[in-house]
Chain A
Amino acid sequence: MSHIVDIFLQPGRVFAEQKERPTFLVPLLIVSAFAAAFTLAYFLSVDPVWYLDHAIAAGGQEMSAAEMEQARKFMPGARVMGYIGAASTVVVMGIVMLLYALYFLVAGKITGNAVGFKHGLSLAAWSSMPTVLGGLVGLIGVFTMTPQTPIESLALLNFDPLLVELSRDNRWSTLAKSFSLLTFWSAFLTALGWKTWGRTSWLQGIVVALLPNVLIYGAMALYALSK
């Protein structure tokens, strides 16, 4: 569908058309597919022994060789983690979309611009299309990586590792590794969609788009500061 290309090149047109006939399945499936593919590809390519050691070390505890052997027995292998990860990614994506739709519903009620649930879902799904680019970059990364690469270093559009490289002990590490720069693009699309449908000002659109992000990343920032 032309929408898939247009969401990147002419997003205004996509939202205008979505207003009449909201769809969400296609973007949802594409976004989930890329995310799942990245996860699966990573776990099938990574050195499984190295990954287990790395994951245990990431747990933060110092363990002797014997204890690590024990932990290895309990942890699932890399391939299994790949399948589980891929499946759970799809499920989580769906749940997040639904939550966003609910949020848009409430926001619509508050601002006086009624937004139906289906519209909300459509807005959430189409706004998250930029994450496909992140998945694409990640996939390219997986196929060119050495087998001993941590998954965080493949999310090249995140704050860490693109702009900074913080060690695990740094308090801002978790926040930097979670914040994707594509969030800005997605927020822009959400604002655009909101403005287009409700004929509101840009300000309202931006506020609606950024509020969840501010809440979530703000909470992470506060937690990091408290450390």
Chain B
Amino acid sequence: MKFNKKWLAAVLVVAVVAVPLIVKKARGTSATEVDLAVVAAQQVQPSILASGVLAFRNEVNLTAEVTAKVRTILIKEGDTVTQGQTLLLLDPEIYNNAIEREQASLRQSRIGIERQRDLVALRQKTYERSRVLAEQRLIDRARLDEDRNQLDLARADLRTSEESLLQAESVLNDAREQRARTEIRSPITGRVVSLPIKVGETAVPSTSAFAGAQLMKIADTSEIIAELKVDEADIAKIDIGQRAEVFAAAYPDTPLKSTVEQIALAPTIEGQGRAYKVTVRLVAPAELKLRSGMSVRSNIFLGDGQRKPAVPVEAVVIETEGKDAAKRYVWLSRDGKAAKVEVQTGVSDDRWETVLKGVAAGDTVIVGPTKSLRLLREGEAVIQRKAPDADKAGDDAGDDAS
């Protein structure tokens, strides 16, 4: 019995020593659990945000050119009008009076010319007579000169009168012009989007926004654009032709595809900063009821959207040594071992950072967790960790967040 017990005990001793070592060997060397990702071509979309308003392509604010009371409005808000169509009639009475006045003035000028012609004829005759008499030495030279002078003066007066006639004609044309301006015509083809003026109000030529100044607004509604305000810090990255996605306040989940059309050269002062107006041309589906003046927010995409090799942003480790420029590294997993590689990065957005040099598509890069990434050593064994269970997930989130 003792013999068996002894052997049992001996086996136990050997087992106690051997089993754990075998188990350890079978399990393999402990590897640090990390999250791995494969470097692949990704669509990196760096973008900037800008807000603005929608506008119709062509919007014209009509104001009167003459001061007059509004007599008739021939259209109503929402009407479609063609170029040249009469929209509004102002009271032309004052201008009619002015025309009559000038016509009278014109007639007066003509009469004046006739009078002058008669006078010139008379002076001519007088001079002729004087000349004959002077030749016969019946009158002195002084008298002849005087008559000559009178003739010249009369001729000059005639010319003055003729010029006055031209002037009177011109003034008459002016008056006619003024009267023509009491008929307001549409400068473009479009729709009347705003009609603040009423019959009986006085139209006043002005660009200020008080009653009577703005007659109406006509807009070409066939094309809608968005006028975005881009901060001066970002404007240098915007180029004509870049794509943008515009979200109207009325349709906050519908991205409208658009293209940058125009970039302002001069800024507008926005509170403390300066902004530049960027005009984008929209492609608006017909079922959306978009209106001029609606607020929009947009993402203007800076890159060309082409696929480039990129790594998740959290994989890039930045190290600064004193005053030297920051160096960027990623940790690669080569044959299950961690390797630190210096990289050169390009454009990035909030998910991906493009890598220009250092890694190639197909390499496996270590992306997390953050704590492990910081403590990794060159050559350390790494293995993809299993999806964290609920217990761990909370802890890990806590780690990464702190």
Q: A192 CB to closest chain B CB, in angstroms? A: 12
Chain B residues, Cβ within 8 Å of A156: 20-21, 23-24
Known: A133-B13, A167-B392, A170-B391. A162 touches B6 (CB 8 A): no
Whether the Cβ atoms of B13 and A162 lie closer than 8 Å is no
Whether the Cβ atoms of A133 and B402 lie closer than 8 Å is no
Whether the Cβ atoms of A9 and B9 lie closer than 8 Å is yes
- Give the interface SS of chain A, mostly helix, strand, loop or mixed: helix
Q: CB-nearest residue of chain B relative to A63?
A: B374
Chain B residues, Cβ within 8 Å of A161: 24, 30
Chain B residues, Cβ within 8 Å of A20: none
Q: How far is the CA of A148 from the CA of B29 in the complex (A)?
A: 10
Whether the Cβ atoms of B375 and A157 lie closer than 8 Å is no
The reply to whether the CB of A210 lies closer than 8 angstroms to some CB of chain B is no
Interface string of B158-176 (1 = CB under 8 A from A): 0000000000000000000
Whether the Cβ atoms of B380 and A148 lie closer than 8 Å is yes
Whether the Cβ atoms of A9 and B23 lie closer than 8 Å is no
Whether the Cβ atoms of A8 and B13 lie closer than 8 Å is yes
Whether the Cβ atoms of A162 and B9 lie closer than 8 Å is no
The reply to whether the CB of B381 lies closer than 8 angstroms to some CB of chain A is yes
Kindly identify, within residues 131 to 149 of chain A, every residue whose CB is under 8 Å from any CB belonging to chain B.
133, 136-137, 140-141, 145-146, 148-149
Whether the Cβ atoms of B392 and A169 lie closer than 8 Å is yes
- Give the interface SS of chain B, mostly helix, strand, loop or mixed: helix
Interface string of A153-196 (1 = CB under 8 A from B): 10011000110000101100000000000100100000000000
Partner of A57, one of B6, B21, B375: B375
The reply to whether the CB of B2 lies closer than 8 angstroms to some CB of chain A is yes
The reply to whether the CB of A53 lies closer than 8 angstroms to some CB of chain B is yes
Whether the Cβ atoms of A146 and B16 lie closer than 8 Å is no
Q: B interface, how many residues as a size bin?
A: 20 to 34
Count A/B pairs, Cβ under 8 Å: 66
Whether the Cβ atoms of A148 and B377 lie closer than 8 Å is yes
Whether the Cβ atoms of B17 and A137 lie closer than 8 Å is yes
Q: CB-nearest residue of chain B relative to A49?
A: B377
Q: CB-nearest residue of chain A relative to B33?
A: A167
Whether the Cβ atoms of B24 and A141 lie closer than 8 Å is yes
The reply to whether the CB of A70 lies closer than 8 angstroms to some CB of chain B is no
The reply to whether the CB of A10 lies closer than 8 angstroms to some CB of chain B is yes
Whether the Cβ atoms of A8 and B17 lie closer than 8 Å is no
Chain B residues, Cβ within 8 Å of A170: 391-392
Chain B residues, Cβ within 8 Å of A162: 20, 23
Chain A residues, Cβ within 8 Å of B5: 10
The reply to whether the CB of A109 lies closer than 8 angstroms to some CB of chain B is no
The reply to whether the CB of A217 lies closer than 8 angstroms to some CB of chain B is no
Q: How far is the CA of A9 from the CA of B12 in the complex (A)?
A: 9
Q: B273 CB to closest chain A CB, in angstroms? A: 34
Partner of B10, one of A8, A141, A167: A8
Q: How far is the CA of A191 from the CA of B235 in the complex (A)?
A: 83
Chain A residues, Cβ within 8 Å of B391: 170
The reply to whether the CB of A50 lies closer than 8 angstroms to some CB of chain B is yes
Whether the Cβ atoms of A62 and B371 lie closer than 8 Å is yes
Q: How far is the CA of A11 from the CA of B136 in the complex (A)?
A: 182
> Besides the contacts A50-B377, A140-B21, what 10 more A-B pairs have beta carbons closer than 8 Å?
A8-B13, A9-B9, A9-B10, A53-B375, A133-B17, A149-B29, A149-B30, A156-B23, A157-B16, A161-B24
A interface with B by C-beta (< 8 Å): 8-11, 47, 49-50, 53-54, 57, 62, 65, 130, 133, 136-137, 140-141, 145-146, 148-149, 153, 156-157, 161-162, 167, 169-170, 182, 185
